[in-house]
Amino acid sequence: MKYNRYPKRDAIKNYFPLPNELFILGLNAGEISVYSYLLYLENRKTFQCWPSYKTIGKAVDMSQNTVRKYVLSLEDKVLITTEPTTVYTKSGMKRNGSLLYTICPIQEALDLFYARQMARVDENVAKQRAAAKLAKLAPVAPCEPLCGALEPGTGTDPAKDSLDGIEAVSDEERRTKEKAG
């Protein structure tokens, strides 16, 4: 019998698709692993699955709180949507179930990502324009930041401020002091 190092693989049964655009969105490793696990579990016809935080955490080696954080982040980036489910016990009691995850089309997430980038660019341009307006209205001299703390009536030259109470000595008084001295 011949040993086959690479066995024949059935692409439909053993693999699931991971969109290439996922790496454009700037997701971190935790978000990618949670999203990948949800894609692995999803029903290919309904695009839904319902694992618990505990199940996802065991599969991707994370705590339940960390999984919850990444699920909320994926929801914020419109990669998934979640809905609460209910479960009825054998005794007929109604309990909260796991979340029902729906995998959204990747194009929605890309559109939102690009819209947020454009909003950031517009915000930065507005800030730069405002800064340019301020620079044109009030030119800043090198000493103004230091003297800006002074009140407007006190003056801006510290050397002049210290001589305000001193009067100039007349030539006559100077000669008299020289003779006496």
Q: Are 100 and 85 in contact (CB under 8 A)?
A: yes
Task: Spell out the domains of the chain, with CATH numbers in brackets.
Answer: 11-112 (1.10.10.10)
Please state, in angstroms and rounded to a whole number, the distance separating the CA atoms of residues 75 and 26: 14
| pLDDT surpasses 60 at 151 | no
Residue 9: C-alpha distances to residues 17, 40, 179 (Å): 15, 17, 116
* Predicted local confidence at residue 158, as pLDDT: 54
The reported pLDDT for the residue numbered 51 is 93
Q: Is the pLDDT confidence value at 30 over 70?
A: yes
Q: Is the pLDDT of residue 103 over 80?
A: yes
Q: How confident is the model at residue 77 (pLDDT cuts 50, 70, 90)?
A: very high
Contact 47, 102 (CB under 8 A): yes
Quick one: which H or E segment has residue 53? helix 53-60
Q: Is 79:131 a contact under the CB 8 Å cutoff?
A: no
Does the structure show a pLDDT above 90 at 34?
Answer: yes
Per-residue pLDDT for 175 more than 80? Answer: no
- 82 strand-pairing partners: 101
Task: Give the H or E element holding residue 96.
Answer: strand 94-103
Of 67-81, 127-141, 161-175, minimum mean pLDDT range: 161-175
Confidence of residue 82 (pLDDT cuts 50, 70, 90): very high
**Structure pTM?**
0.65
pLDDT of residue 137: 72
Q: What is the pLDDT of residue 97?
A: 84
* 113-140 tens-digit pLDDT: 999 999 999 999 999 998 888 877 766 5
As a residue count, the chain comes to 181
CA distance 79 to 25: 10
